[in-house]
Structure formats: C-alpha cells, structure tokens
Amino acid sequence: GEDVEQSLFLSVREGDSSVINCTYTDSSSTYLYWYKQEPGAGLQLLTYIFSNMDMKQDQRLTVLLNKKDKHLSLRIADTQTGDSAIYFCAETDTGRRALTFGSGTRLQVQP
C-alpha cells in the first residue's frame, strides 16, 4: 500500500530556516500536503501542492516537489518559536480521496 516517511525530529534556532523532508511511494499521488499540529490541537492545513508543480511559495513557506524521487520538502524561512509543532506530510490521489499521512516530524525551535 501507500507509504509516507518522515524523519522524527528537527531542531533549529530561532531566525534560521527549517527544512522538513518527506518521501512517499505512491506514484499516482495527485496532491501532497503539509499539516501542522500543536500540542492538544487538531491538524492545521498549511499548504499543498499539485503533483504537476515543482515548487509552491506561500509567505514564509516553500514547498519543493521532486516527483521523480518522490520527495517532498517544506522550508520555513525565519523560523519562530511559534513554529514549534509536529508537521505531517500527507498525500492523496484521484482514485482515493482519503489522505495517507506520515508519522510526523517534531520541529523544536530554540530561542
């Protein structure tokens, strides 16, 4: 079945850039997503990219997609302490409406 993999933990200093990586196996993925989850909270949709795009930028967030390598990344510029959270990569395809999530990357931002 489909699989989405993420590294477990990333620590950065406030003001630095953060890069969170994700790999997936489904070659028919249509949309790829990044969600943010803060402690005790639900999932907040940050951004998503359609599979025919290579890059999407939204304010401090930049998503890069390498479809050949099935690799997705999320770059957060000027990382702030409020960015500390768990970030989930997810994918879906046109044949399956449900999202398949990775296990999440915990981002810790040190002042």
Partner 1 sequence: GAGVSQTPSNKVTEKGKYVELRCDPISGHTALYWYRQSLGQGPEFLIYFQGTGAADDSGLPNDRFFAVRPEGSVSTLKIQRTERGDSAVYLCASSLDNTEAFFGQGTRLTVV
The per-residue DSSP string of 36-75 comes to: EE-TT--EEEEEEEETT-SEEEETTEEEEEETTTTEEEEE
Q: Applying CB under 8 A, what is the total number of residues that bind partner 1? A: 20
Determine contact, residues 104/21, Cβ cutoff 8 Å. no
* Shortest CB 86 distance to partner 1, Å: 9
Q: Which of 39, 42, 82, 111 binds partner 1 (CB under 8 A)?
A: 42
Which one, 39 or 111, has the nearer CB to partner 1? Answer: 39
Identify which of residues 17 and 108 has a Cβ nearer to partner 1 in the complex.
108
- Answer yes or no whether residue 98 interacts with partner 1 by CB under 8 A: yes
Residues contributing to the site for partner 1 (CB under 8 A): 4, 31, 35, 41-45, 48, 88, 90, 96-104
